[in-house]
Chains A and B, each alone.
Chain A
């Protein structure tokens, strides 16, 4: 029936329209708070800079490299780190408590779209000004720490896809985590254990080859490394084209798992949810 086809197409178009509008609003909003963004970025850049300094010191003390990684590669890793970190800023699971307490979730339930779309669009736009504003900082860091960065074109392409893959995976996982809040008021303990595992097993702390063998094996079975280590390494490392494409495949797999988990956990939780607030 041709009548059915038309709403299908217009639904897709209105979805794209929704995402673009949400993103555009956020881009404009965030550009207004340049000073605040810069200060926040400064606090964020402190973390990789500390790691970089510590590992460079160790590399220099051991004839110029640790596990085959030299100062130039550490510099590249930790400068690209902040780009990937910025991509990984998503709605925090801690935020669900306020959404429930303030009654915002009840309002969201009245809207025609699944709430995950609002968060995805919002934070996708939110990070664009941040990325633009990080670039001068990255240039300054590069002048100080001399990164070894010489990517092939295919690596650049894979990197540009992988950072959005990382964004999707982390957004979806955090949405599922946030659902815990609907079931208990002490969800923060769960979140903290999750963030601890992420810090150690994602490559956020150190490039994964520096970790003990058993934790690398563990990391291979978890989603974390596909949100930090893989995107960074796709640009700064020397992966073969097959490994790069395989990595994107793993991201796709974890995105699919994330979508299923979001759909399932949302359906269960919203049935359990009872409103508070005004």
Chain B
């Protein structure tokens, strides 16, 4: 555990140093994030110009969901996605040998190596969107809710990481995985809306199969006073199962890896 944290710290420092070489990219990321927030807000304005509430959510409450989706999107783009893309590339090219021969847990290494620091701009812009949304929601939010929100956000990030790793592990069987990011990015847009608007079959698959409902909607529920203890318990239980399954599936896939020139 301590070794793992130290390893994470080392990779983090390396990643930051590496990214600081490309400072102009900060403005690129800033501009991108500005545009994507602008689109999100424009779409909300358009929807709410035709209705007062969507599935019981007001515009301010949906801003909170949008903000959470952007924050988690930032975490995905900064860390999860670049690591997983590198993993699938290296499985294809046989370069994963270099990670596997290191004297540390392979899953830990493949999940930590890459960092796109400037993408964390999205975490900041998402937080601003959440703050605006929360300030316009009528219900008062206590410290308890805020803490629960942060904890649930972390759980959400873990779920999204597991989902990505399960997909990326697929590269041990399927060689062409170029579509992964497109597939995920497409499906991730589901998280912009409260999971309740989707019809039953889609809602269940977006909660349990692709854990976007849990990852995005549940933290937003904590900030808009809609969260019950049952949901939190189900979420925690589900996350535990997912983490164990992901670990098992990663090892199962790894057995198929036969290295370079194979």
Residues of A within 8 A of B (CB): 33, 35-37, 39-40, 42-47, 49-50, 53-54, 57-58, 61-62, 66-67, 144, 186, 188-189, 192-193, 196, 199-200, 205-206, 210-212
Contact = CB atoms under 8 A, between A and B. Distances in A.
B179 to A, nearest CB: 4
Interface in B67-81: none
A54 B187 CA distance: 15
Contact of B51 (A46, A49, A53, A61): A61
A211 B182 contact: no
Contacts of B202: 49, 53
Contacts, number: 86
Given A144-B199, A192-B31, 18 more contacts: A37-B179, A40-B179, A42-B183, A43-B184, A45-B186, A46-B186, A46-B189, A50-B190, A50-B193, A53-B197, A53-B198, A53-B199, A54-B193, A66-B50, A66-B51, A188-B28, A200-B39, A210-B46
Nearest to A206: B46
A210 B47 CA distance: 9
11 contacts: A36-B177, A36-B178, A44-B186, A46-B189, A49-B202, A50-B192, A54-B47, A57-B55, A61-B54, A186-B28, A193-B35
Contacts of B176: 33, 35-36
Contacts of B46: 205-206, 210-212
A49 B205 CA distance: 14
Interface residues of B, number: 36
Given A54-B193, A58-B50, A67-B50, A35 B183 contact: no
B38 interface: yes
A34 to B, nearest CB: 11
B104 interface: no
B138 interface: no
B191 to A, nearest CB: 10
Contacts of B51: 58, 61-62, 66
A67 B49 CA distance: 11
Contacts of A39: 179-180, 183
A192 B177 CA distance: 25
Interface string B31-60: 110010011001100110111011100000
The 6 closest A-B pairs by CB, nearest first: A43-B186, A43-B183, A46-B186, A40-B179, A39-B179, A58-B51
A43 B185 contact: yes
A212 B186 CA distance: 26
Interface in B187-238: 187, 189-190, 192-193, 197-199, 202
A205 B186 contact: no
A189 B34 CA distance: 11
